[in-house]
Amino acid sequence: MNITRNFFPVLAIAFSAIPAIPAFSAQSPTAFPQRPVRLVVPYSAGGSTDTVARITGARLSERLGQPVVIDNRTGAGTIIGTEIVKDATPDGHILLMATPPLAVNPSLYAKVPYVLDRDFVAITNIAGSSNLLVVHPSMPATSVKELITVLKASPGKYNYGSSGVGGAGHLAMALFTSMAGVEALHVPYKGGAPAVADLVAGRLNMMMANLTTAQPHIRAGKLRGLGVGKTRRSPLFPEMPTIAEAGVKGYEANNWNGVVAPRGTPRAVIERLHKDIVATLGEPAIADRMARAGLEPVGDTPAEFTQYLKAEAVKWGGLVRAAGIKAE
């Protein structure tokens, strides 16, 4: 996710540097993988991160010669799934789908059972996607400016959902309400999919939803899209303005979905996984599926993803502190 540099000051000294892949001993597996690879998704099935995992995992299974099993482990703002991977044997057979909370949770919670640079090693950032500011059709707003007017007229009357406290959608919406000078009640869920389902059902008023999850409901007329979180319009919704051009100047908040392994995983295994994931992302059929889902493949190096994680921790940690966001 991206945030305008000018909005919240960040204190880099609050976060330790996240080193690149460490040098491992000469010990390496004679063959990898030797059994199915378990990809832990710390969200419920059906959400954007789950979609990324399943699109990538199906083809990756063929490249690895072993099934890639998607294991949805929700709860505690992604910490439950994260801890499962942290405590796993570091041999590459259990991996984590990493999203913004991996970097943000150490600032959000008084205590978390992991230290990012101590317990995990980056493999690659698989894909990014846009946030969309969406409302239920019953909301008396057809634009970002109209929504701001409605929210200012009734502070705290309306609510918004998210995948959980400190999740990408929560932080993106917290940034929006802060920059727009409005108030709304946050309702956290265990994943983006159930939050979107309640929004479609009218039990929520609005949310900052991932484009992947929201687009079918917008096209069906069950949700109304007001603005895109990126600095440029989405090719899937070229008529929809960015939130910045629609009334909140300087606004930017995006999502990302990467893969990390338990620290201590042999370098050869990390390199094999990186090579096969990047090759998968380069296949036209996979790129097409991702594009249709509103996803943008990345496939950066382990070192680049390591630095990205460090930057995300600093950037969104600054928002958490400035906005006074705390996990319940």
Kindly list the domain boundaries of the chain, sorted by start residue.
Answer: 35-128+255-323, 130-228
Which whole number is the average pLDDT over 135-160? 97
**Fold annotation for 130-228:** D-Maltodextrin-Binding Protein; domain 2 (3.40.190)
Residue for token pair 């910045």: 244
Which whole number is the average pLDDT over 13-19? 40
| Average pLDDT of the chain, as a whole number | 89
Residue 183 corresponds to which tokens in the numbers above?
Answer: 């108030």
pLDDT tens per residue across span 90-107: 999 999 999 988 999 999
* Burial (0-12, 13-18, 19+ Cβ within 10 Å), 159: middle
Query: Hey, do 35-128+255-323 and 130-228 end up sharing a CATH topology, with the first three levels equal?
Result: yes
Q: Regarding the domain with residue range 35-128+255-323, which homologous superfamily does it belong to in the CATH classification?
A: Bordetella uptake gene, domain 1 (3.40.190.150)
Which whole number is the average pLDDT over 179-208? 94
The pTM of this model reads 0.76
pLDDT band at residue 328 under the 50/70/90 scheme: low
pLDDT tens per residue across span 227-284: 999 888 998 899 999 999 999 999 988 889 999 999 999 999 999 999 999 999 999 9
DSSP for residue 190: S
d(CA 250, CA 83): 35
pLDDT of residue 324: 85
